[in-house]
Structures are given as C-alpha cells and as structure tokens.
Amino acid sequence: AQKVTQAQTEISVVEKEDVTLDCVYETRDTTYYLFWYKQPPSGELVFLIRRNSFDEQNEISGRYSWNFQKSTSSFNFTITASQVVDSAVYFCALSEAGAIGANSKLTFGKGITLSVRP
C-alpha cells in the first residue's frame, strides 16, 4: 500500500526566512509520481509540481525548489525567502504509474500548515 508521511504538522517562520517541508513516502511500485499541492486559506488545492520516479534531478522554480532522494524515499520542498502569501497548507502526494490514460488516484499526506509572519 502507498503511504505519504509529512511529519511536520505546523511550521511558523518570519518573512524572508527559508523553510523546508519534509515528505517521506512508501510504495512498492518501481514507477510512481510525486506531487506537491498548496491549499491556501481560500480552500482550493493548487498543483505545484509533479516528479516521476525516474527523474531524481532537483528542480527550482523561482523561490521554490524540490529535492527528490529516491534512496531515502523523500521529496522535500524548500521555499526560499518566504513571503506572507506562502502561508497555506502544503500537501505531498503520491500516485502509482500504469494508470489508465490520465486516471489519477492520489495518496496525500496529512499536510503541513505553514505560517509566514511579517
């Protein structure tokens, strides 16, 4: 069975600090996909990134960066120079490959509530 663990539940930082959100996953699949979603106070879920299990190259997008370590089954997310608008709940998720077409059953972690204070 697939499992996603986000051990941190709440993180509070001061604006401009860097913050790393941890994600550890379990799966028996050799091919799988990992994701991060953001849930701002308005409630919707916003897709941030998708990574497949064959691509361990780290990715940077503006102030966001992701570190995928297959050896430790981790997919951590770092926000550099955090801003108040980054305050949200962040979910890590896992999906098996081999899904038919675009059929996507995601297994989510419990989420990390990030509060960025001015």
Helix, strand or coil, per DSSP, at residue 50: strand
The interface with other proteins within residues 71-100 (CB under 8 A) comprises 91, 93, 95, 97, 99-100
Among 26, 47, 56, 69, binds other proteins (CB under 8 A): 47
Phi first, then psi: give them for residue 82, nearest 5 degrees: -60, 155
Tell me which stretch binds other proteins (CB under 8 A): 13-21, 45-53, 56-64, 70-78. 45-53
Binding mask 16-35 for other proteins (x = CB under 8 A): -----------------x-x
- The reply to whether 107 sits near other proteins by the rule CB under 8 A is yes
- What is the rounded distance in angstroms from the CA atom of residue 20 to the CA atom of residue 9? 12
Q: How far is the CB of 84 from other proteins (least distance, A)?
A: 21
